[in-house]
Copies of this chain bind each other. A is one copy, B any other.
Amino acid sequence: MRKTTMKDIAREAKVSVATVSYVLNQVDNQKITDETRCRVLDTAKKLDYIPSLTARSLVRGKSGMLALLFTRNERDGVWKKLYYGMLAERMEALCKRAGYHLLVLGVDAERPSPDIEIVRQREVDGVLLADVKKEAFRDISIHFSMGVPIVLLNIYIDDPLFHKVVIDYRQAFALWRERSAGRGGRRFLVLDTVTNEDTMKTILDAAQLEPESVFVLTAGNADRLPDFLARHRGGRGAVLNEFVGMFVANASRDLELELTVFCTSGCAELLPPDVRTLISAENRGPLDLAFQLMRFYIDAKDKDDTFVGSGDAYGEYISIPLQ
């Protein structure tokens, strides 16, 4: 037995498919008798009708799906995956509230193009992009220059074509230095891998630390972290994101460190009470703002086709301060 379609309902309820469509979609500019409406609704229920979002997408030219894109990198450790996973989980919640479905797409660091194409193949309505290689942007701009609204999440890149929401690292590190000024001890920084080169550079510039005081957690070097931390015994450490923070906290027992974790994923609860935290205002992190921005551009595009791609509001960074 095939899936029941509108045609089936129409036949059963003695009306036309058009009428069925009107009733089921509650089209308001069409007047339908209560009697027929009920008949349609009833037979729809009786036949266990399931609308086909595929067919709808085809005719509407958009899918009702949003995509989360992130780079899959060999060097990335578990912490990065936790970060992406959390992003997905939270984005799904946002999607649900907004009436969208979420497509999660890992992009191959070496060959980004085919993965990125999927966005257009599936007619995704909007994209959030997290941590992508600089070189990939050539491919990306080809795909997105006109068309799908796309917002970059915590990526610093000199391309006015994209909307960007970023952590204000300069401000955050300054605040960290200020807050931990009263105490002695060497300063250091522990962070996750960052695929995007410019973003990494921005972070390191803002940190104002010697290279030997910076530890980048990769898939393979976690065993060297304890040594690094021991060398900074009694020091003041900044840690980028909650997941790395949790790990560092665990690895730094009895080292009398003053840890400050930059909470960018809204999971400050994960951290033990003795570490300090820097959090975005009202706990509205980059994801929330990026999502909101994306929706804004989707709506704008729906209203006015000439809007997107004209370069109007592009190119601005939206910087999120931590406090």
List residues of chain A with CB under 8 Å of any chain B CB: 50-55, 57-58, 63, 65, 72, 77-78, 81-82, 84-90, 92-93, 96, 101-106, 115, 117-118, 120-123, 222, 246-247, 249-251, 253, 267, 269-272
Min CB gap A172→B, angstroms: 22
The reply to whether B101 and A101 contact each other, CB–CB distance below 8 Å, is no
The reply to whether B50 and A120 contact each other, CB–CB distance below 8 Å, is yes
Among the listed B57, B103, B270, which residue makes an inter-chain contact with A78, where contact means beta carbons less than 8 Å apart? B270
Q: A51-B121, A52-B123, A54-B63 are in contact. List 20 more A-B contacts (CB 8 A).
A: A50-B121, A54-B123, A55-B58, A58-B58, A72-B93, A78-B267, A81-B89, A82-B82, A85-B87, A88-B88, A88-B104, A89-B106, A96-B106, A101-B103, A101-B122, A104-B104, A246-B246, A246-B247, A247-B270, A249-B250
Smallest CB gap from A86: residue in B:
B85
Interfacial chain B residues near A96, Cβ < 8 Å: 106, 115
Selected A-B contacts with CB under 8 Å, 11 pairs: A50-B117, A50-B120, A50-B121, A51-B121, A77-B269, A82-B82, A82-B85, A84-B89, A88-B88, A104-B104, A250-B250
Smallest CB gap from A118: residue in B:
B101
Nearest 10 pairs of A and B residues by beta carbon: A85-B85, A85-B89, A88-B88, A53-B121, A54-B57, A85-B86, A250-B272, A50-B120, A81-B89, A102-B104
Min CB gap A131→B, angstroms: 13
Min CB gap A271→B, angstroms: 8
Question: Given A246-B246, A250-B249, A92–B120 Cβ distance below 8 Å?
Answer: no
Interfacial chain B residues near A118, Cβ < 8 Å: 53, 101
Copies of this chain present in the complex amount to 2
Min CB gap A60→B, angstroms: 9
Min CB gap A274→B, angstroms: 9
Smallest CB gap from A226: residue in B:
B273
The reply to whether A81 and B72 contact each other, CB–CB distance below 8 Å, is no
A90 to B101, CA, bound (A): 19
The reply to whether B104 and A222 contact each other, CB–CB distance below 8 Å, is no
